[in-house]
């Protein structure tokens, strides 16, 4: 009986983790498949940019709203409904015959992802009540997110090159449908509803205000990176960022006075969560920039096919998977020190990239080893960062905390690709300069953990 209960718990974890898996998969798989999509539907360069932009905007802008809806109407119910929405809009994406139809479908696909992903942490915390088990489960959840990014890179390169009776890129979206359908069936049978907070206030006006601010902010971040930073772009970016800061400060004042707020400030009362947010900003400036820069460099500078590029990233993926499995075991014991160890491996891996990748001739064996090594560091850090942020929080606030964390993550990713991408394209030795910027950002992340650890030790004396 006990073994059956344990099996059900870990099966539930896999079902729950499919939300973050599909969400991340659909970002990375499309990035690589863009050239094939562009040619098939005769899209302009600007229209193809929006295939990525609209998904990111829909996802990033609605994460906090998604967590609030889950708290009020039920995390399981919201998870299933939003998974169904993701499946439907994946179908529309795959059947699109114009850029407009695809971009609209991508926007709603991203919004569906924003509603289903924050439910995952609350459902996991409900299934795994013991902290040690919960940390392990959250580690696996974070690892699956990283695995999805690697699988997305590989499949995004391979699928468009398949010779089928229809445009092969459509499989990029259609593969979501059977996975989502199976998850909906299993979630309905195996997951238990988390206690619903019927008193949770949705607060329509603050909700709309926050969504508008996030949409403008993320739009300007992504477009600025794609098309260059113009005066009006910078003005809108600074205005939305200032508005967001003022909005948060207003929420903080209301929270202190005991008034109803959209963003519950309770997660910020936990030092581990605040430290994790600071570290997340600088880390996620690097996370997706690395894939963007290297994919472009392999294909444009070394003239590798999308399939070969995808297979190279598979080497990074193997290192990631192996390390992420270990991270579940060692994070409990070594905590932030283990994350710092992984960050140092990533730094060394980037130094190896400068040597191996920026040469005039391609040595695929050396590049594969370097990517594998970097993948080990990434596999330690990525799941551990998220787990470390959530581990000490009570179940009642994990959904909102994950929404805040993932929103910060998406904003940082957008800034990172824009910043590092601009460095990459602005210099003759752009790859070297961009890699140095990423190394610098990882060193700042290391410093955040070391300084926080020093302060905690000093305060305990």
pLDDT computed for residue 115 by the predictor? 93
Query: Above 70 in pLDDT, residue 83?
Result: yes
pLDDT in tens, 337-365: 888 999 999 999 999 988 887 666 767 88
Mean pLDDT of 66-94: 92
User: How many CB atoms are located within 10 Å of the residue 384 CB?
Assistant: 31
159, 33 contact by CB (below 8 A) = yes
pLDDT tens figures, 367-390: 889 999 999 999 888 888 888 888
The 10 Å CB-count burial string (b at 16+, else e) for 39-76 is ebbebeeebbbbbbbbbbbbbbbbbbbbbbbbbebbbb
Two structure tokens written together for 138: 């959250």
Q: At residue 81, does pLDDT exceed 90?
A: yes
412-439 pLDDT tens trace: 887 887 788 888 888 888 889 999 999 9
* Max avg pLDDT among 69-73, 243-247, 291-295, 299-303: 243-247
Instruction: Evaluate if residue 70 carries a pLDDT over 80.
Output: yes
Q: Give the residue-averaged pLDDT of 143-149.
A: 81
pLDDT for the residue 316:
85
Choice between 372 and 403, residue whose per-residue pLDDT is larger:
372
At residue 447, the pLDDT reads 93
**Is the Cβ–Cβ distance between 437 and 420 less than 8 Å?**
yes
What pTM value is reported for the model? 0.82
pLDDT above 70: percentage of residues in the chain: 92
pLDDT of residue 226: 65
Specify the pLDDT at position 360.
65
* 184 — pLDDT class (breaks 50, 70, 90): very high
Q: What is the per-residue pLDDT across 31-54, written as a single tens digit (0 to 9) for each?
A: 777 777 888 888 776 677 778 778
Owner of token pair 């070297």: 432
Task: Provide the token pair at 209.
Answer: 């205000």
pLDDT band at residue 456, thresholds of 50, 70 and 90? low
Q: Tell me what the mean pLDDT of segment 103-117 comes to.
A: 92
Sequence ranges of the domains in the chain: 1-199, 204-261, 264-460
pLDDT beyond 70 at 198: no
């Amino acid at each position: 009986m006990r073994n059956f209960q344990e099996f059900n718990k870990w099966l539930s974890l896999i079902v729950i983790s499919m939300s973050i898996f599909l969400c991340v998969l659909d970002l990375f798989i499309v990035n690589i498949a863009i050239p094939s999509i562009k040619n098939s539907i005769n899209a302009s360069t600007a229209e193809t940019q929006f295939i990525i932009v609209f998904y990111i905007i829909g996802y990033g802008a609605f994460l906090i709203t998604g967590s609030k809806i889950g708290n009020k109407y039920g995390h399981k119910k919201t998870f299933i409904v939003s998974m169904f929405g993701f499946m439907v809009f994946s179908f529309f994406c795959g059947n699109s015959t114009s850029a407009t139809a695809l971009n609209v479908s991508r926007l709603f696909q991203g919004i569906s992802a924003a509603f289903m992903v924050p439910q995952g942490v609350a459902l996991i915390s409900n299934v795994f009540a013991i902290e040690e088990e919960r940390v392990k489960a959250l580690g696996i959840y974070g690892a699956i997110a990283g695995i999805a990014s690697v699988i997305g890179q590989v499949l995004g390169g391979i699928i468009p090159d398949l010779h089928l009776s229809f445009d092969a890129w459509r499989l990029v979206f259609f593969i979501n449908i059977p996975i989502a359908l199976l998850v909906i069936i299993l979630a309905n049978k195996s997951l238990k509803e988390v206690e619903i907070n019927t008193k949770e206030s949705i607060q329509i006006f603050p909700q709309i205000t926050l969504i508008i601010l996030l949409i403008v902010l993320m739009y300007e971040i992504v477009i600025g990176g794609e098309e260059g930073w113009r005066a009006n772009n910078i003005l809108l970016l600074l205005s939305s960022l200032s508005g967001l800061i003022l909005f948060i400060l207003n929420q903080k004042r209301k929270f202190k006075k005991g008034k109803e707020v959209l963003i519950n400030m309770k997660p910020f009362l936990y030092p581990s969560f605040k430290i994790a947010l600071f570290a997340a900003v600088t880390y996620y400036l690097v996370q997706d920039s690395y894939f963007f820069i290297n994919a472009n460099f392999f294909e444009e500078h070394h003239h590798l096919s999308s399939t070969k590029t995808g297979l190279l990233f598979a080497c990074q993926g193997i290192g990631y998977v192996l390390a992420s499995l270990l991270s579940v075991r060692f994070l409990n014991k070594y905590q932030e020190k283990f994350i710092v160890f992984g960050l140092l491996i990533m730094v060394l891996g980037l130094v190896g990239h400068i040597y191996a990748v920026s040469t005039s001739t391609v040595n695929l064996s050396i590049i594969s080893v370097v990517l594998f090594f970097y993948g080990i560091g990434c596999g330690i850090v990525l799941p551990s960062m998220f787990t470390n942020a959530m581990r000490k929080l009570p179940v009642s606030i994990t959904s909102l905390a994950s929404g805040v964390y993932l929103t910060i993550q998406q904003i940082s990713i957008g800034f990172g690709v824009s910043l590092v991408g601009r460095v990459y394209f602005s210099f003759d030795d752009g790859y070297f300069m961009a890699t140095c910027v990423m190394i610098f950002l990882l060193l700042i992340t290391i410093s955040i953990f070391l300084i926080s650890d020093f302060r905690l030790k000093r305060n305990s004396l």
